[in-house]
Amino acid sequence: MTARYLPQTLRGFQTERFKEGYSKFTRNPFSVIGLSLVLLVIFLAIFAPFVTPYPEHAGSYVNFKEINKPPSWKHLFGTDLVGRDVFSRVIFAYRYSLLLAITVLSLVVPPGVLLGLLAGYYHGTWIDYTIMRITDIFLAVPPLILALAVTSVLGPSMLNAMMAVCLMWWPWYVRLVYGLVSSLRNEYYVHATAVIGASNFHILWREILPNCVSSIFTKMSLDVGWVIMLAAALSFVGLGAQAPTPDLGTMISDGATFLPDLWWMSMFPSIGVLIIVLGFNLLGDGLRDLFALEEI
């Protein structure tokens, strides 16, 4: 992987591969849609205060003169039961969701990948055995149940929900990387580097890990969608974010009681969830096709 080419050649080579990858990716319209949706969501999340018409509605805000108003030009998605603009809240909820997903993944991926690397590299030793058995036990637990139980016992809040999700998520990365490393460590270039005298650390970090990156990355982008969906489920039940934080699940749950008359209060957040999950899923699938992976 890390061959010693002249800098100019390497750059040209990499640009070539990037262009190939780009055209391969863009060939599939769905991947492009996914990427666009994701970029849109990210943009909205980052620039939420500037993009929304009523950024102050994302917090504690009440305006009883404007409650339960149907969608109009003034309030694109209508208002909720205390007069807040649903559109603005959905956008801010995106911000929240992305933050949650990023945090969860940042907490889960490094240790998961590290454990997977170790377990795979020292395949067949006690290191492998312990790590994988613990992982298996966590994997054998029904996923949502663990999250629910942890959240409920610790108290409903976004932080606890995040911790619950983390607890449930890391084994998948261990397993993914473990599978990859177990097969990669038998590749010739690994043996060759070892023969030259490279340290174990070097082999893991510079030879094996770069080959896992595409799988890890693809899984991460798929996972953003799943984490957001899971968080929405938790909030829907009341175990996630609490008022007045704008959260898609909470908004759907609050709005559900007013069906069918005040349909916009739950319908638009629902569509919001669909869009963000769809976007990341399409993107993840596109990446998977691009890297031609089968392990995920």
Partner 1 sequence: MSMLKFLSKRLALSILALFGLSILIFVIARILPGDPARMALSPRAPDWAVEHLREQMGFDKPIYAQYYYWLTNALRGNLGDSLYTRRPVVEDIKQFIPATVELVLFAAIIMTVFGILFGALAGRYRDTWLDNSVRSLAYIGVCTPAFVFGLMFILLFSYKLGVLPTAGRMTPGVLKPPTITGLLSLDALITGNFAALGDVLKHILLPALSLALGGMGQESRLTRASISDNLRKEYIASARGFGIPNPLIMLKFLLKPSLIPTVSILGLDIAVLFSNAFLVELVFNWPGFSKYGINAMLRKDLNALSAVVLMLGVVFVIANIMVDVTVAWLDPRIRLEAEKQK
Helices (H), 27-85: 29-46, 48-51
Give the shortest CB-14-to-partner 1 separation in angstroms: 32
The CA distance from 253 to 237, in Å, is 7
Tell me which residue has tokens 């609050």.
Answer: 254
The CA distance from 161 to 122, in Å, is 34
DSSP 85: B
Give the shortest CB-213-to-partner 1 separation in angstroms: 25
Under 8 Å between Cβ of 146 and 167: yes
Q: Determine how many CB atoms are found less than 10 A away from the CB of residue 172.
A: 21
Of the ranges 21-29, 39-47, 90-98, 257-265, which one interacts with partner 1 (CB under 8 A)? 257-265
Of the ranges 5-13, 17-25, 67-75, 255-263, which one interacts with partner 1 (CB under 8 A)? 255-263
Counting contacts by CB under 8 A, is residue 29 touching partner 1? no
Give the shortest CB-230-to-partner 1 separation in angstroms: 9
Of the ranges 13-21, 76-84, 119-127, 233-241, which one interacts with partner 1 (CB under 8 A)? 233-241
Under 8 Å between Cβ of 91 and 48: yes
Cis peptide before 55 (omega within 30 of 0): no
Residue choice 140, 195, 196, 292 for contact with partner 1 (CB under 8 A): 140
Take residue 250 and report the two structure tokens written for it.
Answer: 């909470």
Residue choice 56, 136, 183, 213 for contact with partner 1 (CB under 8 A): 136
Counting contacts by CB under 8 A, is residue 225 touching partner 1? yes
The CA distance from 119 to 137, in Å, is 15
End-to-end Cα spacing for the chain: 22
Under 8 Å between Cβ of 58 and 111: no
Of the ranges 74-82, 86-94, 203-211, 264-272, which one interacts with partner 1 (CB under 8 A)? 264-272
Tell me which residue has tokens 């208002």.
Answer: 79
Cis peptide before 156 (omega within 30 of 0): no
Interaction pattern, residues 142-161, with partner 1; x per rule: CB under 8 A: xxxxx-xxxxxxxxx-----
In this complex, which beta carbon is closest to partner 1, that of residue 60 or of residue 183? 183
Of the ranges 10-18, 63-71, 120-128, 227-235, which one interacts with partner 1 (CB under 8 A)? 227-235
Give the shortest CB-266-to-partner 1 separation in angstroms: 6
Counting contacts by CB under 8 A, is residue 233 touching partner 1? yes
Counting contacts by CB under 8 A, is residue 93 touching partner 1? no
Counting contacts by CB under 8 A, is residue 259 touching partner 1? yes
Contact footprint for partner 1 (CB under 8 A): 136-146, 148-156, 225, 229, 232-233, 236-239, 252, 256, 259-260, 263, 266-267, 270, 273-274, 277-278, 281-282
